[in-house]
Chain A
Amino acid sequence: RKEVEQDPGPFNVPEGATVAFNCTYSNSASQSFFWYRQDCRKEPKLLMSVYSSGNEDGRFTAQLNRASQYISLLIRDSKLSDSATYLCAVNDMRFGAGTRLTVKP
């Protein structure tokens, strides 16, 4: 089993839709969790850290479920500019394969 797993998608959604991604991790001792965004042929950039109590940044909400060992990312009112690959990372250095999102007009 991979250390960090994500649904690869692709997710194709219309503008304004709400979309959610999950990411599962195998190491129950994991302490830190992150969501990154990666545009085509670019480097990953941190989108947000994921805190135990859940956290929100504008249209983006991240949650952690330690019991089931997964983190989630919710994007509300999606924009065309949200089209990218979303990577989850655990303990800073272990990344999932990424979920591709395409937002269409």
Chain B
Amino acid sequence: GAGVSQTPSNKVTEKGKYVELRCDPISGHTALYWYRQSLGQGPEFLIYFQGTGAADDSGLPNDRFFAVRPEGSVSTLKIQRTERGDSAVYLCASSASPAGEDTQYFGPGTRLTVL
């Protein structure tokens, strides 16, 4: 079956611009996670959704970052006033059960470059 998909695969933007990154989880998966990964580092947790609600948003670095999942499936990560330090690969993952109970499946990521 289809895995987790993310669009776009690459995004280049200028400092100060607004970007939206989209994640389509595996159909039926109730849990959805956003991470970002910089070169040579592991995935850094940003936010976890269980259904439509953000169950844990403690990883969002500041108020420029926001994520939604209005219908409990597709999620959008929104970054306002982008900074060069936001450049990273943004990974989305989903799992069939709440965090800790089931395997996470990762999407291929969106590579964000802020010039």
**Residue A94 interfacial (CB < 8 Å):** yes
Q: How large is the interface on B (under 10, 10 to 19, 20 to 34, 35 or more residues)?
A: 20 to 34
Please determine whether B42 and A91 come into contact, CB atoms closer than 8 angstroms: no
**Residue A93 interfacial (CB < 8 Å):** yes
* Known A-B contacts A92-B100, A95-B42, A97-B41; A43 and B56 likewise in contact (beta carbons under 8 Å): no
Please determine whether B91 and A87 come into contact, CB atoms closer than 8 angstroms: no
* Known A-B contacts A92-B99, A95-B42, A97-B41; A43 and B48 likewise in contact (beta carbons under 8 Å): no
Please determine whether A95 and B91 come into contact, CB atoms closer than 8 angstroms: no
19 pairs, A vs B, C-beta closer than 8 Å: A6-B42, A8-B40, A43-B91, A43-B106, A44-B43, A44-B106, A45-B106, A46-B104, A91-B100, A92-B33, A92-B95, A92-B104, A93-B45, A93-B56, A93-B59, A95-B42, A97-B42, A98-B41, A98-B42
Q: How large is the interface on A (under 10, 10 to 19, 20 to 34, 35 or more residues)?
A: 20 to 34
CA distance A101 to B105 in the complex (A): 22
* Known A-B contacts A42-B108, A43-B91, A43-B108; A93 and B99 likewise in contact (beta carbons under 8 Å): yes
CA distance A97 to B3 in the complex (A): 25
Determine the chain A residues whose CB is within 8 A of the CB of B99 once the complex forms. 91-93
How many A-B contacts at CB < 8 Å in the complex?
46
Determine the chain A residues whose CB is within 8 A of the CB of B35 once the complex forms. 95
CA distance A91 to B48 in the complex (A): 12
Determine the chain A residues whose CB is within 8 A of the CB of B33 once the complex forms. 92-93
**Residue A32 interfacial (CB < 8 Å):** yes
Beta-carbon contacts under 8 Å, B56-110 to A: 56, 59, 91, 95, 99-100, 103-109
Determine the chain A residues whose CB is within 8 A of the CB of B91 once the complex forms. 43-44
**Residue B20 interfacial (CB < 8 Å):** no
Please determine whether A87 and B42 come into contact, CB atoms closer than 8 angstroms: yes
CA distance A42 to B41 in the complex (A): 13
CA distance A93 to B33 in the complex (A): 8
CA distance A87 to B59 in the complex (A): 19
Please determine whether A87 and B43 come into contact, CB atoms closer than 8 angstroms: yes
